[in-house]
Chain A
């Protein structure tokens, strides 16, 4: 991205940050509508900038702009919605939109993995916890206001702006499995003898993961296993019968009685 446009990018990020600050949930004096309007404008500007600078590889594809916009706006709502359940639903929308963007980049495997793991498992667990933790009609307003919105927004938008300003230079990313395969070939990784042209997305990802990054995969698996053992160890606690309440009554005539709970 050429010099002047990068500053435009930074300005858009700043506007987005202000919009998000305005839209943050507060118990009084909220400007959520104004924030959303400004934020929508910032997202539209960002997309227009993308359209201007990167006509390829998806400059003409209307779906890219639709889903990118949906993802950004929904991400904004994740942090600004006062109700955590709605935040979870918006997060699901973000995940699905990003999955669509990945499909458009021909990364189907990554897209489906994202949906299965994030939308299917992790997010449902979040929803589970939220539902149990916060029943409607509760007295506390702790969920309805943001804590330290200013600092959080400044920190996150500075990080995002820095990354975006840097990434906007990297235009020559390989964006198809075939090209990824080609780079892998250059790096002299032993590959099976099937022709690269027919290699599907899943096959390519699998080969890359289990040839180049096999140690990383093993380490990640080990880490998850350790986390699981730890979680079980923390949650497992034997409660002796005495701590529960009074000892159960002696068995009746027929055998034993089960008191109604």
Chain B
């Protein structure tokens, strides 16, 4: 007798599959991170480690030694993490020191369950949601899990009993608390536009009618959410928690071998979930092209091939956003901490409240799903922000405020 195939069974299989995909993506995003770093800095990046089973060596001699672009590097990295000595320094608070990486990893790996990966699929006449769980609170669940993510950093930093680590933890906390606010407000714009907190329904409202993604209703909210995603995942330019120049390694200074790898894994898994979240909220999830209906990608296409195609599109978007993460990381320098706080409290929060006001006005007037109302509203928010910012005369930092004004010295040839 076959196993009764229910949504629960389907969800269990899907959870395992997606988890496998995410872990694989984590390994290869570390590879691509190093490759992209190489390209940005005009180097090759990792290109020595071939794939296992020595395929490169079996080729005829005249092709030379072929290394498959260093694709074996993630495997070598993983092996190295397993084989290195795992040091627990004697001065740490052992229970919390051991728990912290686990908390990080667990929290990063449970976020993906509410993401709708591919609409609906019909198998033997039964229709399943391609989503591990579809609770009534999908969006809030991701917010809640994301806000738990800082625990790993905080506990690890504190338990390390090391001033650099504690500084890293404290910075991560302050940063997370500050960037949760614009993040939540930007997400509220989507909730108001779609009238739903269930991710499945948010997806459905984006592929209904004219196929307008939320990105086109509220581009400013999208950009704000994107920026806060960088901060939430502690990525450059917001990676003050692990700022090498000042804090050695930040919260993970004392961690080695597999425990360090778990922090690493957690960071990348968190990024992947965040990218999927961003794609579903604003960029139409599994819908490949806005404003156009493509056969295979309609909500009513429930074949297995359609499901795989939809999942491929969503993962393509995830890959694109991951690439953006890396591109930004190797292009934009890190903020100073007061700049980081200023961006959040004086830049992102007022701007996101402005977009929220536009969304609320649209909802009140019944125009929340009309492009000619929300788009000019967003442009107006941008213009007002630019005008206010251009008139702001804040000192860059407290130290600079205390400096005397810049004087010009004629003998050096500086002209007034």
Contact = CB atoms under 8 A, between A and B. Distances in A.
B404 A256 contact: yes
Nearest to B408: A255
Interface string A114-125: 011001110011
A255 B411 CA distance: 12
A247 B174 CA distance: 31
Interface string B373-410: 00000000000000000000000000101111011010
B161 A136 contact: yes
A256 B405 CA distance: 9
A109 interface: yes
A121 B147 contact: yes
Interface stretch (B20-28, B54-62, B135-143, B361-369): B135-143
Contacts of A202: 136-137, 140, 197
Interface residues of A, number: 35
Interface stretch (B73-81, B165-173, B282-290, B293-301): B165-173
A27 to B, nearest CB: 20
Interface string A226-261: 000000000000000100100010110111101001
B36 interface: no
A119 B143 CA distance: 12
A200 B144 contact: no
Given A85-B96, A124-B154, A131 B147 contact: no
Given A202-B197, A255-B407, A112 B402 contact: no
Given A255-B407, A256-B403, A131 B140 contact: no
A132 to B, nearest CB: 7
Contact of B403 (A86, A112, A258): A258
B155 interface: yes
Contact of A128 (B170, B180, B402): B170
A113 B173 CA distance: 19
B147 A109 contact: no
A120 B180 contact: yes
Given A85-B96, A112-B140, A124 B177 contact: yes
Contact of B170 (A131, A254, A256): A131
A86 B150 CA distance: 16
Contacts of A120: 143-144, 147-148, 180
A124 B136 CA distance: 26
Interface string A94-133: 0000000000000011001101100111001101100110
Interface in A166-210: 200-202
B176 interface: yes
B151 interface: yes
B137 A244 contact: no
Which bracket fits the contact residues of B?
Answer: 35 or more
A89 B96 CA distance: 9
Given A85-B158, A124-B150, A127-B154, A201 B403 contact: no
Where chain B touches its partner, the secondary structure class is: helix
A202 B143 CA distance: 15
A78 interface: no
A131 B158 contact: yes
B143 A116 contact: yes
A86 B147 CA distance: 19
Given A112-B140, A112-B144, A120-B148, A253 B412 contact: yes
B151 to A, nearest CB: 7
Contact of B137 (A109, A125, A261): A109
B166 A113 contact: no
B137 A248 contact: no
A46 interface: no
Contact of A248 (B161, B403, B406): B403
Contacts of A136: 93, 161
Nearest to B99: A89
Contacts of B158: 85, 127, 131
Interface in B257-306: none
Nearest to A130: B158
Contact of B136 (A109, A115, A251): A109
Contacts of A135: 166
Contacts of A119: 144, 147-148
B310 interface: no
Interface centre among A119, A125, A131 (most CB of B within 10 A): A131
B136 A131 contact: no
A108 B404 contact: no
A104 to B, nearest CB: 13
B148 A131 contact: no
B93 A261 contact: no
B198 interface: yes
Interface in B114-156: 135-137, 140-141, 143-144, 147-148, 150-151, 154-155
B197 to A, nearest CB: 5
A15 to B, nearest CB: 28
A80 to B, nearest CB: 16
Given A119-B148, A254-B412, A127 B173 contact: yes
B147 A116 contact: yes
Contacts of A127: 154, 158, 173
Contacts of B409: 253-255
Contacts of B93: 85, 136
21 contacts: A85-B93, A86-B96, A108-B136, A109-B136, A112-B137, A112-B143, A116-B140, A116-B147, A121-B180, A125-B177, A128-B173, A131-B157, A131-B158, A131-B169, A202-B136, A244-B402, A253-B409, A254-B412, A255-B409, A256-B406, A261-B399
Interface of B: 93, 96, 99, 135-137, 140-141, 143-144, 147-148, 150-151, 154-155, 157-158, 161, 166, 169-170, 173-174, 176-177, 180, 197-198, 399, 401-404, 406-407, 409, 412
Given A85-B158, A115-B148, 12 more contacts: A85-B93, A112-B143, A116-B143, A120-B147, A124-B151, A124-B177, A127-B154, A131-B158, A131-B169, A251-B406, A253-B412, A256-B404
